[in-house]
Structure formats: structure tokens, C-alpha cells
Amino acid sequence: MDKIRIRGGKRLSGKIRISGAKNAALPLMAASLLTDEPLVLVNLPQLADISTMANLLTHLGVDISMAGETGKDGHTGRSLSLHAREITDTTAPYDLVRRMRASVVVLGPLLARSGHARVSLPGGCAIGTRPVDLHIKGLTQLGAEIDLTGGYIDAKAPNGLVGAHFVFPTVSVGATENVLMAACLAKGESVLSNVAREPEITDLAHCLVAMGAKIGGIGSDTLIVQGVERLHGAEHTVIADRIEAGTYAMAAAMTGGDIELIGVQLDLMESVVDKLIEAGVKIEKTDQGLRVSCDTRLRGVDVMTEPFPGFPTDLQAQMTALMSTADGASMITESIFENRFMHIPELARMGANVTVHGASSLVRGVGALTGAPVMATDLRASASLVLAGLIADGETWVSRVYHIDRGYERIEEKLAACGADIERVDE
Ligand code: UD1
């Protein structure tokens, strides 16, 4: 199994091209199920989760082929053509879904296109119980009959879905994506209120519109969808990954470095930029993206994770690493997921002083971290350990690197190109 070895203490400088957003790419790929024409997605990141989704879609009958070269139009990612000429299987089996919770996003499109979908319940994960009740409630509101049997969500709508008004009781990214995609092929109008407003949802909505969907209110908390009989093929470019960008912005800040993040827009990450500026980081817009630099010791700042446009939960662990050597204390509150503090015992092994009280962690900045062998527990937790390793004295070995590979494209190469002493070691 691979490990990442980091020798800390190098100042980072240079440019990092930000990849296409994983969390935008996954539902976009699932949207290919909605039409019998090809959907071409440009700038897909090369990640384990993308391969998992491709395997699942292939199982359902989607033909996936390369469409154009990597690097076209300045993007690093691949272009894929996804062609669901015919849905040959409406079951997303446990074996494929358990590898990635986000697989559940095939439920809405499969049901809307085929009138039937059987999708394995994803089960628990390292960051909490993560139920799918909102996905089920929303689709039921559109007329689906749903049973939970044998560990599967069994959804039927033999006469098609029917538009309806649905108020999401709490904000959910995945449930919004599932219900939005289903509503595009439902009969009549759907009004979806209290939807998630994450940029990845806006990206999905723009792609659906390019496929012929009629969606109003894009970017707001209410989406109004006029159902259409069929959708057609389209070509769509995936937005930049704001979580990857935020992680590298923090790497620049922690190492007193200077990095230009190519391809990312400020409006994707204003809450993160505001917090970094409050902590003492300099951030400027450039022609190609954002330049992040820092020449002072960071100040402790308080952060609370919230749905977009608030501070993203997917950067909470990295923020804790950033704050671990800041001047003063910071209170980091996780309001989206329970049990998303698995990185803290590992950071503590590197000398961080963090105490967890319920949904908050109190980080008291220390003078320095020390390298140690640490274990990645989930995707974002592992990124926080890499960040800590970049500034720790001595060597840090991060094991279970497959978590990082789910969401960061060639993390060690991108950091090494900016001067980090980091390498992947195959054990
Ligand atoms: C997505 C992201 C993930 C991110 C999260 C929050 C993808 C592939 N993943 O996950 O990286 O951390 O948004 O920004 O895009 N909930 C329910 N019932 C449901 C659905 C969700 O109670 O049916 C709860 C969850 O347990 C959680 C909260 O709602 O407490 C938000 O979860 P949700 O927005 O659905 O996250 P995901 O879509 O799973």
C-alpha cells in the first residue's frame, strides 16, 4: 500500500493548476442517464471516485469513451463521452455503492428515465451516519413509490414522475441533485425549496439546461423546474475544485509561501478567502486565478462550517491544521456532520493542541509541529495531515493514502512542483 512521506519546512512557491471539481463531476456523470444521446464532460479530474462512478454507470448500460485530449483548452482533466443509449440494468449493487456514497445520485436519474431504480443503501461512513431520507422524501413527493428492502432503495414510478412542491427540511447537496435531476423529466412544474446552493449544484443545473431542461432560480435556494419529455446530449465543462484550491491555499499560507492557483474563481470560495484574510493571509485575484501568499505568523480565527455560501465542511480538517500553529486560539465548529474530527488525534500525535467539545474543537496554536507516522481516516482528514506534514519538523509518513486519491489528483506531484519535499512510496 502506498504511503506519502513528507519532510517539512520547505516554503512553497509556484503555480498549481486546479483540477475539475470531483463533487461537480460525480452528479454530472450521473446526469448522462437522463438522455439517450451522448453527454460530453470536459475537465473531469482523474480520481478514484470518478473511476468508481464510471464503473457503476457502465454497469447500468452507459457507454463511456474518451472524447478529446487531456490538456485541451488549458484544462488538465480528461474529456469523456457518456452515452446511455439504453439503460440495461436499473440496479446499483451494494458492491459498487459501498465504495462511494455519492453513487446514490444515480437514483433520481435512473428512476426518471426508466420508471424504476434499485440502489443499495450506502450505509455508514467515517464521518457520520449520513442517512438518505431526504432523497427518498423528495422523490416520493414527485410520485415515486419507494420501499426499503434487503438493504436496497427500491423506487418505482411506472407512469412517470409528476412535478410537485417540495421543501427540503434541511439542506442536502446530494438530495438536491437527485430530486433536481428527477424533476427535469417529471410531468409539469416542480418547485424545490430550501435546496443546497453549492457551486457544484449550479454547475449541474447549467449542464441540465444545456441538455434541454427548463430550470429557473439557478444559484438560489428555490429551483423551479418545468418538466420536459426528453433531454438531449450536450457538452459541458466541469468547474474548478474549490476544495482542492482551498487546500493548496492553506498549504501556501502555512509554509509562508506564494502560490498562484490557476483556474479557480473567487466567487466559488469567498467564505474561505475571507477567513484566510482574517488569519493574515494575502489573497489577490490574477488573470488566471488567485494568488495566495503569507509572510507573517497566522492569527487564530474562529470558523463554523455551513452550507454554501458558508465555510465548507470539506475544508474543516485542513483549517484545523492551518490553525494548529497560528498565534492564539481558534474555535472550529462543525455544523454539517457529526463525528468529523477523526483527524484530531492524528494531528495531536504531531504536537497539535486541540480539544474537542461536542461539535466544536478548540485549537490552541503551538510553536511547531513534529513529524510522525499518521493514518488517514477519510479524504479531507488525510489532506489535513499532509498540510501538517509540510510544516512539521522532520519526517511525516501518511498511510492509507487511498483516501487522498479519492479526491486529490496527484497531490504529491502538485506540491513537489512548488518546492515541497514530498513523495509517494510504494511499500
Ligand atoms: C456532499 C459532498 C460532501 C460534502 C457535503 C456537504 C459530494 C459527492 N459530496 O455530500 O463532500 O461534505 O455535501 O457539503 O458532493 N442528510 C440527511 N438526510 C439525507 C441527506 C443528508 O439527514 O437524506 C444530512 C447529512 O447526514 C448531513 C447533512 O444532511 O448531516 C448534509 O449532507 P449532504 O449535503 O447531503 O451531503 P452529501 O451530499 O452526502
95: CB partners within 8 A, 6+ apart: none
- Compute the distance from residue 405 Cα to the ligand 1 centre, in Å: 20
Using most ligand atoms within 8 A of CB, pick from 153, 172, 304, 342 the residue to mutate for ligand 1. Answer: 172
The whole model's pTM is what? 0.96
Q: Whose CA is nearest to atom 31 of ligand 1?
A: 172
Q: What's the pLDDT at 240? A: 97
Per-residue pLDDT for 276 more than 90?
yes
Distance CA(236)–CA(40), nearest Å, equals: 6
Q: What's the pLDDT at 1? A: 83
Q: Whose CA is nearest to atom 39 of ligand 1?
A: 174
Which residues, judged by CB distance below 6 Å to any ligand atom, belong to the binding site of ligand 1?
23, 26, 101-102, 128, 130-135, 170, 172-175, 196, 200, 313-314, 336-337
Per-residue pLDDT for 70 more than 80?
no
% of residues, the chain, pLDDT over 70 = 96
342-371 pLDDT, tens per residue?
999 999 999 999 999 999 999 999 999 999
Classify each residue of 237-251 as buried b or exposed e, where b means 16 or more C-beta atoms within 10 Å of its C-beta. bbbbbbbbbbbbbbb
Coil/strand/helix, residue 42 = strand
Closest Cα to residue 91, out of 111, 72, 69?
111
Q: What's the pLDDT at 338? A: 84
Per-residue pLDDT for 127 more than 70?
no
Per-residue pLDDT for 125 more than 60?
no
Say which of 125, 184, 207, 418 is annotated catalytic. Answer: 125
Closest Cα to residue 82, out of 20, 23, 52, 37?
37
Q: What's the pLDDT at 250? A: 98
179-196 pLDDT, tens per residue?
999 999 999 999 999 999
Annotation marks residue 125 as catalytic? yes
On the 0-12 / 13-18 / 19+ scale of CB atoms within 10 A, 425 is exposed
Q: Whose CA is nearest to atom 21 of ligand 1?
A: 172
- Compute the distance from residue 287 Cα to the ligand 1 centre, in Å: 33
- Compute the distance from residue 388 Cα to the ligand 1 centre, in Å: 26
% of residues, the chain, pLDDT over 90 = 87
User: What DSSP string describes 328-362?
Assistant: SEEEEE--S-TT--THHHHHHHTT-EEEEETTEEE
199-251 pLDDT, tens per residue?
999 999 999 999 999 999 999 999 999 999 999 999 999 999 999 999 999 99
325-339 pLDDT, tens per residue?
999 999 999 999 988
78-91 pLDDT, tens per residue?
899 999 999 999 99
Q: What ligand 1 atom has the least distance to the C-alpha of 170?
A: 29
Using most ligand atoms within 8 A of CB, pick from 136, 244, 336, 380 the residue to mutate for ligand 1. Answer: 336
Assess whether the previous peptide bond of 27 is cis (omega < 30° from 0).
no
25-62 pLDDT, tens per residue?
999 999 999 999 999 999 999 999 999 999 999 999 99
Q: What's the pLDDT at 7? A: 98
- Compute the distance from residue 336 Cα to the ligand 1 centre, in Å: 8
Which of 54-58, 72-76, 188-192, 418-422 is predicted with the least confidence, judged by mean pLDDT? 72-76
284-308 pLDDT, tens per residue?
999 999 999 999 999 999 999 999 9
Helix-strand-coil split of the chain, %, nearest 5: 35, 30, 35
